[in-house]
Structure 1
Amino acid sequence: MISVIVPVYNVRPYIHEAVDSLLAQTYSDLEIILVDDGSTDGSGEVCDEYTKKDRRISVIHQSNQGQSAARNAGLDRCHGDMIAFLDPDDAFCSNTLSVMVDAMKTSGADIVECNYASYPEGSRLDPKKADRLKTVRHSHAGVYPSDDAVRMQVRGQLAFSVCCQLYTRNVWSNLRFRENQFFEDLDIILPLLNSARTVCVLNETFLLRRSRSGSTTQTLSLRNFRDYEAAFTHYMDFIGANIPDLFSEDDMDCARIYRYTELLSNYYRCIQKHIPQKDLCIAFLKEHMQTLAHDMDLSKCPLRLRAASWLCFHSPGAVSGIVGRIYLSYRMVSRKLPLLLLAR
């Protein structure tokens, strides 16, 4: 049986699409746990209505504690020998779990990862458009020992999201999401991969993700920047603690460059938008870029990254125009930078 854990908070316009995609799965041996994290828009009542439609659905109601706590509540309650996660504004293709279970049985892997498609806000999560909207994360499919999988993740060949993955229960035996911060997937992804014996990677697209400008992690705010920095610090600490057993200095450089690129792209976004505490946000981002730059050799980075970095510190006014637009398009492929640098 697969336990599918869905954290729910104020997503009434989307929750039907998510839960209906679970009820439509061709793999039917499911336990669907909806964790209402103190919703105030009626999402909790929608969850309760679903329990009347299908006995496989159960609901946990709790005060608002954040997505990490909601997921942990589901982990503590679940009974399946396999575990999956779905965010309440996303959906699975109808054969998602069936194909992933088959891959897990065939490969003997503890984790199976699929690809995903990103849908623009306001659009319906139509599986027929998945191939066109596919977000390429994987260099190639295959079955990998956990040591290889963690290095692949650092080098940009595996996704950060737990919703792309199906787990055997034992992977979560000694792991839980860190609570009271956002970006919990980034925080836990390397320990998860490291706890598996093998990881099976599929190139097929089975997760349909909705990009929402108003979602927690997409919002530009000082709280989000601080939480992301905390999560990435844990990510980097895991790498540093496992050199040279798992990682090399090149792997650490990959992580630093990716983090620097994220900081820089958020800086450009802040410059161009009206957001609360804008000056504090910009100061925070620049401070952490300067700190990170001391541990990096920017001369080895692509020219556009070096140019954008120079403008950030020496001519910040320029980023509000054409330079900013050029860099914002560039950041869309920033996750591939580690691979480009390793190939040099």
Structure 2
Amino acid sequence: MNRMKMTYVKIAKRLRLAEWFYRVESLVCSICTSSAKQFPGDVSSALRLLHSYSPDPGSSCICQHDFAAADSDVEVIVPCYNVELYVCQCLDSILSQKTEYRFFVTIVNDGSTDSTRSLIAKYEHLPNVRVIDQSNKGFSGARNAGIRQAHGRYLMFVDSDDVLMPGAIDCLMRMAEKTGADMVDGGFRRFADRDGDFSAIPGLASLYDMIQHDNLLPESDDTRHTNGFVCGKLISRSLFSNVEFPLGYWFEDTIYCMILEPMCKRIASVAPLVFGYRMRRNSISHSFAGKPKAIDNLYITLGLLRDRENLDIAFDQRQYDMMLHQMFMNTWCVMGLPEEVARAVFVVQRDLIAVRLGKWHTSDIRLRNIERLIRENNFQGYMLWCKWHEC
């Protein structure tokens, strides 16, 4: 699917029309027979094919940080690269926070070539602001630069085109103090970029917020119901003692569900909206369709799975269900690429289920079809299901 088709599929899902389209297309596919195409039958061949489209960066999240004593409650890390249109709104939303807690802002200028650096300079004189300048290393490299010099009890990542809602730090820290949680999450809202749209359809960001409720969280002292990205959360600095973001990958936020969340002894959430996510047409999450580097979602899944084993992070039923969800995401990301790419991803995931995760079975109704179709080696049925469903 190209990006336009993926957008319409997403709208159909949000409007609860996807199941009807799925049944119609399933019927058509059952009537229209076609000769089977050859595709890699073993993992080695599948990975060679995938690497021919886009090589695996091959980096690890494992490292060692020797943190100094904390001297602030929260350190907000803001990676910046060519965001002259947005960076001031982002920084103002952070620095205007009203709170009794001590917070510090680390701005990482990741080799910007526009006026981003001169705009950041307006904030350098503030006592709770530090600017790190470096050559361009991408999201992971910029975030890691902030982590390595972090001196807050909790870290918070805010991308430079997003915003913090008023009172966010105070709300999250009060829950952290109350519960001693390793991580505290809150609700978020979507909003469109300066042009008023983020895709071919004007106002789609507002439509998403009206018909999608996964951006709201309940108030809870202990929960595993969180938003699946790193931004806008309080995360205990101690969780980064021996990990950081793996370099060179798209979809680096996968470290949250595969490494950081499983390491948490306790996670809390607050009901108020604390974070504003700007939907931009040129962001990776909205422009990956058809790009070979979208295969990174599979690569980073496999790499972080290896890192989990080396970090001795226990695998349990929740993590198995998370892996099934991740397989869905890996597939969705490559739907805009040639079919042989999707087939190769399917082969790798089929092997992972059969060999490494064979003893596990899901009871989550949203994931059962993913598990069943992979175990049955039903590529066409699996692709069709992933196209028209969420999980």
State the partner residue of 2:278: 210
State the partner residue of 1:316: none
Q: Distance in 1 between matches of 2:302 and 2:170?
A: 36
Deviations 1:61-120 (A, max 9, x none): 100111111111111223222211100110010110000010001112121111222223
Q: Distance in 2 between matches of 1:36 and 1:161?
A: 22
Go from structure 1 to structure 2 and tell me whether the alpha carbon gap of 1:240 and 1:62 turns closer, same or farther (over 3 Å shift). Answer: closer
Instruction: Give how far 1:312 is off.
Output: 8.0
Count of residues in Structure 1 that have an aligned counterpart in Structure 2? 292
State the partner residue of 1:247: 316
Which sections of structure 2, spanning at least 5 residues, go unmatched? 1-71, 198-205, 355-360
Deviations 1:114-136 (A, max 9, x none): 12222234449xxxx89858752
Q: Distance in 1 between matches of 2:144 and 2:293?
A: 21
CA RMSD in angstroms, aligned pairs only: 3.6
Letter in 1 for 2:264: A
1:292 and 2:349 aligned: yes
Matches within 5 A, 1:107-146: 107-121=179-193, 122-123=195-196, 132=210, 135-136=213-214, 140-144=218-222
State the partner residue of 1:38: 111
Instruction: Give how far 1:182 is off.
Output: 2.3
1:169 and 2:237 aligned: yes
Letter in 2 for 1:310: Q
1:257 and 2:324 aligned: yes
Q: Distance in 2 between matches of 1:85 and 1:139?
A: 19
SS in 1 for 2:348: helix
Matches within 5 A, 1:177-188: 177-188=245-256
Contact 2:76 2:104 in 1 (8 A): yes
Go from structure 1 to structure 2 and tell me whether the alpha carbon gap of 1:200 and 1:300 turns closer, same or farther (over 3 Å shift). Answer: closer
SS in 1 for 2:253: helix
Instruction: Give how far 1:55 is off.
Output: 3.0
Contact 2:94 2:164 in 1 (8 A): yes
Which sections of structure 1, spanning at least 5 residues, go unmatched? 271-277, 314-322, 338-344
Deviations 1:34-58 (A, max 9, x none): 1010011211221112224x33222
Deviations 1:149-200 (A, max 9, x none): 6xx4xxxx32221113102332222222112222222124433234333211
1:310 and 2:375 aligned: no
Q: Distance in 2 between matches of 1:12 and 1:286?
A: 41
Contact 1:115 1:135 in 2 (8 A): no
Which has the larger displacement, 284-293 or 81-90? 284-293
Which has the larger displacement, 63-72 or 224-233? 224-233
Matches within 5 A, 1:30-69: 30-52=103-125, 54-69=126-141
Go from structure 1 to structure 2 and tell me whether the alpha carbon gap of 1:290 and 1:234 turns closer, same or farther (over 3 Å shift). Answer: same
Contact 2:343 2:379 in 1 (8 A): no
Contact 1:114 1:205 in 2 (8 A): yes
Go from structure 1 to structure 2 and tell me whether the alpha carbon gap of 1:8 and 1:245 turns closer, same or farther (over 3 Å shift). Answer: closer
Q: Distance in 2 between matches of 1:18 and 1:26?
A: 15
More helix by share: 1
Q: Distance in 2 between matches of 1:189 and 1:264?
A: 17
| 2:300 aligned residue (212, 231, 247) | 231
SS in 2 for 1:285: helix
Contact 2:252 2:300 in 1 (8 A): yes
Which has the larger displacement, 182-191 or 4-13? 182-191
